[in-house]
Amino acid sequence: MSKFKRDLKNDTIPNKTTRGKEIADASAGNAGIGNVTAELATFTTANGTLAQAASDLAVAQAAVTKLVTDQTTAEAAWNSAFELYLQRVEGNTKGDKALMSTTTVPTYDPGVSGPAAAIAQVQALSVTIGDTLHTLDLSWNAVRPKPRLYLVFMCEGTYDPTKMLQIGTPSASSFTATGLLPGHTYWFQVCAVSTGNHQGPLSDPATGMAV
């Protein structure tokens, strides 16, 4: 086998099929290379099959790339719309589980908590007046490693840990409590949930007054 043929076998598929067609065209009826009719027919067929397969693959890869891009965009839109929906329902019901259970809104019940969770306590929880009326903005230091989600709890009036109700499950280290009553005081606590479904300890409580 000549070096030319050996190099071509190790070349890229587009180069192989392009050069293969050139070789097949140049070989057809070429008396100088003797009778290669059967072998040339087999090679020409194989070259055409490979070229078509490469073309089909390129089309499929382009389609998959578009589908992945479309899915990523659609998922981001879903997450945004779902979060807005949850915030509205949670605000309207003020986290009342009996009311929330009448809707399709899922509440999060972690499977494991306590020391075995091995996930840090949320730190530096702060509460500020929101950009719109009847809202309070919460923020805290992000837990590392990144948790699966956070659980946000709230109670109205005097702080009472037994009255803290889950009102949100944000994935980022911020949350807006909506549907609050102006002049009323609200208390909040946040904890992180690991990717293994372990709930970390609650943050120190923080309070704010809605306007």
CATH number at residue 118: 2.60.40.10
19 & 64 share domain: yes
In a domain, 98, yes or no: no
**Residue 42 falls within a domain, yes or no?**
yes
Please list the rounded mean pLDDT of every run of 10 residues in the chain (211 residues).
66 87 88 87 92 87 80 80 79 74 60 59 94 92 90 92 90 92 93 86 93 86
pLDDT recorded at residue 106: 53
The pTM of the full predicted model, rounded to 2 decimals, is 0.48
Separation in Å, CA 203 to CA 31, 120, 126, 183: 87, 10, 10, 24
**pLDDT of the residue at 70:** 82
Q: How many domains does the chain have?
A: 2
Same domain, 73 and 153: no
Residue 158 in domain: yes
Same-domain status, 70 and 140: no
DSSP for residue 115: G
Q: Dig out the tokens for 164 from the structure.
A: 């803290």
The whole-number pLDDT of residue 3 equals: 52
126 and 89 in one domain?
no
Q: Do the domain assignments include residue 40?
A: yes
Question: Which residue range forms the structural domain that includes residue 201?
Answer: 108-209
